[in-house]
Chains A and B, each alone.
Chain A
Amino acid sequence: GAVVSQHPSWVICKSGTSVKIECRSLDFQATTMFWYRQFPKQSLMLMATSNEGSKATYEQGVEKDKFLINHASLTLSTLTVTSAHPEDSSFYICSAPQGDYEQYFGPGTRLTVT
């Protein structure tokens, strides 16, 4: 099946700094990618839809100036958490659709803000 990678797998940063997370589709092109956040013992929450060549679409309540998304190419989307705070600590997961309905998920990035 299709493979989606994320980098880094985990990151610890200090409060106030910015962190960039990469999502890559390794063997297929993705004009759209999705970014999710998952807090412990909770469901995946869609943050935004990343669109290649255009602006990302953010879900209600997600600050677009804080969570910067860039879909630089058909295989790469990046999420930058700016001025991170401890409450941003979470598991961030990207996914890319392929075909009519399949969604392939990246392995996730665990962010800890101290």
Chain B
Amino acid sequence: GQNIDQPTEMTATEGAIVQINCTYQTSGFNGLFWYQQHAGEAPTFLSYNVLDGLEEKGRFSSFLSRSKGYSYLLLKELQMKDSASYLCAVVDSNYQLIWGAGTKLIIKP
């Protein structure tokens, strides 16, 4: 079966750095997305990785290792508005999006 694992919940302090991990086992791989979702809202796109390595975009960076079936989202200089769920999603061999359950990130002052 296809499976994506993320921690259910994480807590971090404003101004700090947090890393959210995602591991996957899917039938094929055609890329991995990270989305941010605030409560009651639709997800918003953060990043897309298809090649190994680190992609940096402002305060957010995303890393991918295809051989390990592993990705992480790194958030720097955390702000209170970063409190949200972070969803990892993998595109499988049929170009279907397989979603993780999301990681709820709680930022404390």
- What is A's interface to B at a CB cutoff of 8 Å? 1, 34, 42-46, 91, 93, 101-108, 110
Contacts and interface: CB of A to CB of B under 8 A. Distances in A.
Interface in B36-62: 40-45, 48, 50
Given A46-B96, A103-B45, A104-B45, A110 B40 contact: yes
B97 interface: yes
Contacts of A102: 45, 48
A43 B99 contact: yes
B31 interface: yes
Q: How large is the interface on B (under 10, 10 to 19, 20 to 34, 35 or more residues)?
A: 10 to 19
Pick the 10 closest A-B CB pairs, nearest first. A105-B42, A43-B99, A108-B42, A43-B101, A44-B99, A93-B42, A101-B48, A107-B42, A105-B43, A101-B31
Contacts of A91: 40
